[in-house]
Amino acid sequence: MATIANNPMARASAERRFYSWMAIALVAVVFLGFAPSFYLRDIVPAYPRPNPSLTPFVILHGSVFTLWMAVLVTQTQLVAAGRRDMHMKLGVLGMALAAAMIPVMYLAAVWQVARANQPPFTDPLNWTSVPLATIPAFAFLIWQGWAHRRNAQWHKRLMLSAAILIVLGPAIGRLPLAPPTLIGHTIQVSIGLALFVPLMLWDRRSQGKVHSATWTGFCTAVIAYFVPILLMATGSWAPIARHLPGVGA
């Protein structure tokens, strides 16, 4: 396979374009997934899944995540424009925002039990395993991205992986791509994991192999989304979930 690994200038230019377009593509996926229930609610037809009313907290949750995706796009555009100084300053704000997202993610997960926001193939308690499993995975990737902030190749792949992680399930999971069954959910998770494919192809083109940071992000996402599938299949999470702080609030 032909690569651009031996042409640093061509690689740098292509790399900036790749990450910019990946960030924009993820925003597009988020918009498609959440347009009927959030961004264009009551304007476009709803997807065939539970679509409870928006509470103030759900609006806050959606706004915080939208802001984080906006920061992701801005960061890639700053690098593309050569403004690494601004990129580094905004990175501090981005990390603070990511830290704030974690308690928001937890509350959204446990409070959805009362809203019955789960798909029809499971119950509210077992469904909490899906959003709750993404919390340690997201925190791990963000932390690793920050720890490797001086290593650009690791940093950008880990941060992109964190974005893919939180887009993969919530946004793609809302698209009517498969029947509302556990098998259908598994299919949609597998489709979501395909968001890593462009990054893997880019690695092959620019590095000659898939980067270790990309494998780290991909494997983290696989664990975060397939462990809940096993928990839902066995129904073993509900007895634990009912004792979590805030469940049913």
Per-domain boundaries in the chain:
8-241
* Residue 135 CA from chain centroid, whole number: 10
pTM: predicted TM-score of the whole model, two decimal places:
0.92
Provide the token pair at 197.
């494919």
| pLDDT string in tens for the chain (249-residue length) | 445 656 667 677 889 899 999 999 999 999 999 999 899 998 988 887 666 678 899 999 999 999 999 999 999 998 888 888 888 888 898 899 999 999 999 999 999 898 888 888 999 999 999 999 999 999 999 999 999 999 999 999 999 999 999 999 899 988 999 999 999 999 999 999 999 999 999 999 998 999 999 999 999 999 999 999 999 999 999 999 999 999 966
Q: Measured at the alpha carbon of residue 216, what is the angle toward residues 215 and 222, in degrees to the nearest 5? A: 85
The candidate with the shortest Cα–Cα distance to 107, out of 131, 139, 81, is 131
Residues making up the chain, counted from first to last:
249
Q: How far apart are CA 70 and CA 227, in angstroms?
A: 29
The candidate with the shortest Cα–Cα distance to 85, out of 75, 94, 97, is 75
Q: How far apart are CA 231 and CA 245, in angstroms?
A: 20
